[in-house]
């Protein structure tokens, strides 16, 4: 930050800039005990590292929400935060930029794919929501129960594992990584979701959305997402 400079493991800051605002779900606020004279104070190094992590978390959260505003459709705050955390870790793994994620193909299983990764993720999520709403309007209380939050979370996380499966070469070409040759995205997606405490109902959607789910009994949410995902894929393939 331009407002601060580090000295021998401690941070020197001036009281004119002694108010940190951290906008996030944690709503953490820090106010210094500055004397108002601009002479500066010293903060413990551990606190500085903590503050840096908070600021990094804020940046990553904003990056993810810019990519996937549909996350805000999830009503349960704790689930929204966990979905963001999954995406933040996946994005950071290969230092993907938003521009890259908006321009890489959503699949490497077809040639000359003109639909991009983030477009695919968002479109499938919106199709899944629309399908659920149509069923609500058509059948009302007779409709098979669908948990909308789980449906949205699963739709947004189904392909997050591709950020591990794919790799960018120096010339910008996207290829399947060595990691991806061994572990396809449904597996890495479930592993990441488990790490961040995503409910098993949502992990089920990730696990069975592609060919790995063939022969498995899918939940209502998984049925909807599987079909909207393959609509997008089959039309391109």
Count of beta carbons in the 10 Å neighbourhood of residue 116: 16
C-alpha span between 106 and 162 (Å, rounded):
9
**151 and 45 part of one domain:** no
Residue 10's domain comprises 1-59
Does the reported pTM lie above 0.75?
Answer: yes
**3 and 52 part of one domain:** yes
Predicted local distance difference test score (pLDDT) of residue 15: 34
Q: Where are the beta strands (DSSP E) in the chain?
A: 4-7, 10-13, 19-21, 29-31, 41-43, 166-168, 174-176
**80 and 18 part of one domain:** no
In the chain, how many domains are there? Answer: 2
What are the phi and psi torsion angles at 119 (to 5°)?
A: -55, -45
Residue 19 in this model has a pLDDT that exceeds 50: no
90-99 pLDDT, tens digit per residue, is 999 999 999 9
Where residue 20 falls (left for φ over 0; alpha for ψ -120 to 50; beta otherwise) is beta
CATH of the domain at 167: 1.10.3210
Least confident of 1-5, 99-103, 223-227: 1-5
**88 and 24 part of one domain:** no
Q: How confident is the model at residue 237 (pLDDT cuts 50, 70, 90)?
A: confident
172-201 pLDDT, tens digit per residue, is 888 999 999 999 999 999 999 999 999 999
**39 and 83 part of one domain:** no
C-alpha span between 158 and 86 (Å, rounded):
11
Average pLDDT, the chain: 82
């Amino acid at each position: 930050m331009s407002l601060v400079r580090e000295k021998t493991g401690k941070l020197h800051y001036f009281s004119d800039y002694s108010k940190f605002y951290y906008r996030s779900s944690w709503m953490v606020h820090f106010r210094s005990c500055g004397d108002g004279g601009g002479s500066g104070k010293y903060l413990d190094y551990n606190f500085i590292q903590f503050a840096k992590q908070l600021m990094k978390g804020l940046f990553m959260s904003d990056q993810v929400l810019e990519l996937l505003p549909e996350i805000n459709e999830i009503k349960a705050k704790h689930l929204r935060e966990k979905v963001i955390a999954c995406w933040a870790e996946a994005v950071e793994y290969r230092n993907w930029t938003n521009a890259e994620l908006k321009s890489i193909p959503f699949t490497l299983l077809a040639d000359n794919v003109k639909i991009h990764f983030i477009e695919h993720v968002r479109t499938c999520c919106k199709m899944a929501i629309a399908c659920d709403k149509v069923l609500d309007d058509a059948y009302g209380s007779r409709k098979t129960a669908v948990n909308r939050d789980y449906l949205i979370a699963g739709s947004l996380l189904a392909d997050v594992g591709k950020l591990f499966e794919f790799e960018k070469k120096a010339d910008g070409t996207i290829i399947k990584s060595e990691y991806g040759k061994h572990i396809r995205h449904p597996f890495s997606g479930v592993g990441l979701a488990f790490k961040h405490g995503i409910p098993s109902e949502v992990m089920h959607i990730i696990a069975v959305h592609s060919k790995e789910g063939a022969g498995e009994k899918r939940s209502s949410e998984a049925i909807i997402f599987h079909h909207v995902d393959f609509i997008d894929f089959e039309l391109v393939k």
